Amino acid sequence: MTVLDPFEYHGYVPLGQVDDQYYGNCVLCGDTKHCYVHGLTGQWDCKKCGEGGNTKTFLQKYVEHLHEGTTGADYRRLVRDRGGTIRLFKRWGVAYEGSKWLIPVYNERGYCDDIRCWSPGGSPLSTKGCKLGLFGLQKFSVRSKRTVCLCEGEWDAMFFYELARRAGKLNDVCVLAVPGAGTFKTKWAQLLAKRRVWVLYDNDEAGDRGALRVYKSLHSMAKELKFVHWPQSRPEGWDVRDHCRAAFDESNSRKAWNTLTGLLHDEPRNLPVSTQVVSATGMLEVPDFTVLPPKDRPSFSRVVATFRKYLQWDPEMHNGLILTLAVCVSQQLPGPPTWLWLGGAAASGKTALLTSTQKSDRVVFRSTLHPKSLVSGFNSGGSDPSLLAEMNGRTLVLKDATEILAQHDLAVQETMAVLRGAFDGHVSRNYGNAVHREYVGLRFTILAGVTHALDAYSTASLGERFLRYRIKVPPKVIADRIRAAIRLTSHENEMEQDTQDVVQRFLAFNVGELPRMPTWVEDRIVPLSQLVGILRATVQRNRGTDEITYKPEPEHGTRVAKQLAKLAYSIAIVKGEEVVSTETYQLLERVALDTANPFHVDIVRAAYAMEGEATSRELEAETGIPLSTLRRRIDDLSVLKVLKIKSLTIDEALHYYSRVKRDPRGRGPATLAKITPPLSRLIQESKLWRNGVQ
């Protein structure tokens, strides 16, 4: 798949290419060759009509354009086929494309993530290149307590929404739809956790299997879970739309509503007796956490004052404290979990920050991890001693995760395999004593202390799930820190008590409305996340021959972008900001760069400062990286298409070396490293390495 897929699926025909920009016809104004689409980012704009944006805005503008052009005659044909009313389909933005009907699918923030395409006699299909999403999320609120009615397919959701409207029940329910009975993602289970959910799937085998899938994911997470059991008198394939059409014909919506709610049961139809899924909360419920009244909860400034009472305080420690609290707070936010390495040398202060969290009931504090403690095969007669069961819904804080990486290779691989599965929400293990552990809908954050030894391990072995912040201790404050440590000797117990108490009370709250994220922050996170994905990629080589073992494929940055956005919200919440601030973004930018390979960042930063190109000798002088190491890293960056390498003659090298007043002769061959245009554009769009931010 390519970024052009959604555009081409809806009629865009690229006629040519200039660098990374494709040009072709505009499906909005009809111009034949002035609509440009960026082949890497999906950003587009039409030079003729002036429309533009990203892929989501293209989908939204396209379906809205067709919606305006859909005639009454078109809608009447749809009503004859599907039932319902013209007003119903207009309300949901259904549009006609000439041969098929388009159903826009919006996310909870109101952006169009997908357009589902339906032709009479078929099933709706997603736009090529778009991910499957829940239909109806634009009407969903995280803070609302309404019952979620989960339908099978977009048509069922539209008709059930109309039934609820006519029965006067819209204030009681929120209607969502899965794209098909066979799909129910882990993140949807997380979204519906602790809610009342009605599952209204079709009266067929696929509907029964789908209902069972939802049951396995939600039965221990939802506040209440109900499943429709259609009467045996209903034909195979009978669904919510059929039930609602019959009600509309009889003009008795309230009676139809009562009939349908009377068909709800606590378990799905045909639930197998052998279904023994141990969910993450099935054996150990996540408790209701302590919540203090606002007047009893300390402010962030009060937390800082408590730490400053005992520790030598500086901006690095201040940022480390913000991130420690933000990672714990992020567990309450929807979306992929935030996992962060908190790095620093001995006496950097990271241990004091990490241990301050251990009194909170929202934290599981451990010194280190072992795969057998994460998922235990011990038969305890029904209870689950596994650490995963305890971690669900909490933040795992590890005092020294470097110890994990120091274990033997098989233990490290097994630990990381469990964590990768947990990040994606599902872990399953079978043991020889007939114990089966399966955790569905797992969700927890990780805050792990590490030393710089972590750099010796490739990001591939760590699964690229972690962000990172490196606490740097400037040489000029080392002496002050040593003095502070000496003075603290007789007060360490008092410090631990005070810092743990204040952090425990600070974290005792539930997140309400999220701060607002300015558009400029979103616009800069997009290229920044792509840069991180490229600059933390690893080039794997054979230890004996030094040959590259496989062609590296850097991640696209989607996961990083979600984590950075979530971290930005969490930092703003910790600091009490209503809008994500410039200062918060600066810290976010720092985390992003610390997450990337430090050699790669230093080399690219130095080359960019020299107008985008520099010789290996210049880079050696600017970065302080030994020349032998530097050449290997430049070669890796060339493979990753970050740098373009050129060998220089002596005369050419003399021209470049005049900038650093060095004579290149007699020191081996010189090379010129030039930042590639795609990476240079990402740096410019993210506004990295400029004085200040917007």
- The pLDDT, as a whole number, for residue 283 is 39
Tell me how far apart the alpha carbons of residues 241 and 239 are, in angstroms, rounded to a whole number. Answer: 5
Distance CA 13, CA 17 (A): 12
Q: Indicate where the chain has its CATH 1.10.10.10 domain(s).
A: 597-686
Helices and strands in the chain: count of H runs, count of E runs: 27, 24
Other Cβ atoms within 10 Å of 269 Cβ, number: 15
Contact (CB, 8 A) for 133 and 177: no
Helix 300-308 × helix 492-506 angle, to 10°: 170
pLDDT given at position 660: 47
Which ranges in the chain are annotated with CATH 3.40.1360.10?
132-275
Tokens of 582: 């410039």
Helix (H, G, I), strand (E, B) or coil at 155: helix
pLDDT at 429: 73
Average pLDDT over residues 423-442: 72
pLDDT at 657: 59
pLDDT at 575 over 70: yes
What is the fold, at CATH topology level, of the domain defined by 132-275?
Answer: Dna Topoisomerase Vi A Subunit; Chain: A, domain 2 (3.40.1360)
Bridge partners, 35 (sequence order): 24, 46
Q: What percent of the chain is predicted at pLDDT more than 70?
A: 89
CATH number of 597-686: 1.10.10.10
Q: What pLDDT band is residue 91 in, cutting at 50, 70 and 90?
A: very high
Terminal-residue alpha carbon distance, the chain: 34
Which secondary structure element, helix H or strand E, spans residue 98, and what is its range? none
- What would the pLDDT profile of 145-154 be if each residue is shown by its tens digit? 889 999 999 9
Distance between alpha carbon 287 and the CA centroid of its chain, in Å? 25
The architecture in CATH of the region 294-510 reads 3-Layer(aba) Sandwich (3.40)
Supply the pLDDT for residue 446: 92
Residues of the chain with CATH 3.40.50.300: 294-510
Mean pLDDT of the chain: 85
Give the largest CA-CA distance in the chain: 95
| Confidence grade of residue 644 (pLDDT, cut at 50, 70, 90) | very high
What is the C-alpha separation between 391 and 446, in angstroms, rounded? 10
SS3 206: helix
pLDDT-derived band at 652 (thresholds 50, 70, 90) equals low
Mean pLDDT lowest for which of 53-62, 108-117, 278-287?
278-287
CA dihedral 446, 328, 425, 226 (to 10 degrees): 160
* pLDDT tens sequence across 477-519: 777 777 777 777 767 788 889 999 999 999 999 998 899 999 9
From its phi and psi, is residue 84 left (phi > 0), alpha (psi between -120 and 50) or beta? left
